[in-house]
Amino acid sequence: MKKSFEQLTLAPFCYSVPSVGQSCKAVIILFVPQLIMLFLTQNISSLILAGTAIVASIIADIVDSFVRNNSYKLTSSVVLQGLLIGMFIPSTYSPFKAFVLIFITLLLAKYAFGGFAQSWANPAAVTVIVLYLFGYSDFPKSLVDASLLQGTDTLTRLINQGKMPLCTFDADVTSFLNTKLFHYAGVVLPDGYVSLFWDTGNCIPALRFNLLTLLSTIYLISFNLTEWLIPFVYLFTYSLAVRIFGLVPYGNIWFEGDIILALCTSGTFVAAFFILPWGGTTPMTIVGKCIYSALAGIFAFLLNGCGTGNIGTMFVILIVNIFSPVIQLIEDWIILFFINKKQKVEE
């Protein structure tokens, strides 16, 4: 009698690390607190734009499946892709305009860059850049100019000029930290850094809630849900460049750049942990990943400088995505060289 099987499973095998789908679902869930914060701060327009981006991403995926004559199944990566795009759209952007641009860009990107696992350029970064090119007036300008970089108290100057909001509890928390923690290390934390981590007040959601982003990344790294090497090398390289060279062009001041200000603005943390390591866009070897992420850190310093930018990080990601295939090609040559060498030795 012929047996028929309706379902094929991998049992008794299991994943040694979480799957791509599981990682995407975890990231989506970890973004929920930021969406709640947008609601609590009455930033309804950003919530509408985030929903618009998700819907546009899903519809673009459905149309692509229909054109390819494939059966459609919604994946968490498509939802995450739309959510990441929505988090980088300014609250003043037109939802209709955003929907049209996101839909067209993602649909074309599937043919220009490939699907999720084959894409050589991050579709979210490309889409945000397109949104910027067609609506640059909605994106906020950099808060830092030459006059603010003549000394080492850039954040204080930003606060005094009303360019950076100060939370009502900032002074109390800062005083507590200085008295109970930093006092023993001989360090005094200035006012403003607590607000910088809590809410920068930017009209782009991804640039606002740095503390929530950091807590999310701690969870992701703890459970192997995201790549850790690329973000850390990227952040280290960018931080080192800011610290050493950040104020050099504005007064020949060395080793005085504000690392915290740079990392907590321009969407640096969100890009580092959720966009830069996107599947299919990164090299495979450890050396290749280090080169890839170090280049990202260098370009981040060249484009964002000491921070407070808005779109520079997306251009950084696109630039290193262009370098990534070259790095991967060199990786293949090196691996092939050692394989051939090993075969000759064995012969």
- Looking at residues 22-42, what average pLDDT do you find? 94
Q: How far apart are CA 331 and CA 284, in angstroms?
A: 8
Q: Is the pLDDT of residue 307 over 90?
A: no
Other CB atoms within a 10 A radius of the CB of residue 64 amount to 18
Domain borders along the chain are: 20-138
Q: Is the pLDDT of residue 149 over 90?
A: no
Do 124 and 50 touch, CB atoms closer than 8 A?
no
Q: How confident is the model at residue 227 (pLDDT cuts 50, 70, 90)?
A: confident
pLDDT in tens, 152-190: 678 888 888 888 889 999 999 999 988 888 877 777 888
Structure tokens given for 116 = 């999720």
Q: Is the pLDDT of residue 124 over 80?
A: yes
Range among 63-72, 151-160, 209-218, 256-265 with highest mean pLDDT value: 209-218
- Looking at residues 75-104, what average pLDDT do you find? 96
Instruction: For the chain, give the number of residues.
Output: 347
pLDDT at 11: 55
pLDDT at 34: 97
% of the chain residues with pLDDT over 70:
90
Q: How far apart are CA 209 and CA 26, in angstroms?
A: 18
Rg of the Cα atoms in the chain: 22
How many CA within 13 A on the CB side of residue 214?
Answer: 12
Q: How far apart are CA 245 and CA 297, in angstroms?
A: 13
Q: Is the pLDDT of residue 261 over 60?
A: yes
More confident residue, 230 or 225: 230
- CA distance to 26, 143, 258, per residue, from 161 (Å): 39, 10, 18
Structure tokens given for 124 = 């979210």
% of the chain residues with pLDDT over 90:
53
Q: Specify the DSSP element, H or E, that contains 216.
A: helix 210-222
Distance of CA 106 to the CA centre of its chain: 18
pLDDT in tens, 71-87: 888 889 899 999 999 99
Q: Specify the DSSP element, H or E, that contains 24.
A: helix 20-30
**Dihedral over Cα of 171, 175, 178, 183: its sign:** positive
End-to-end Cα spacing for the chain: 51
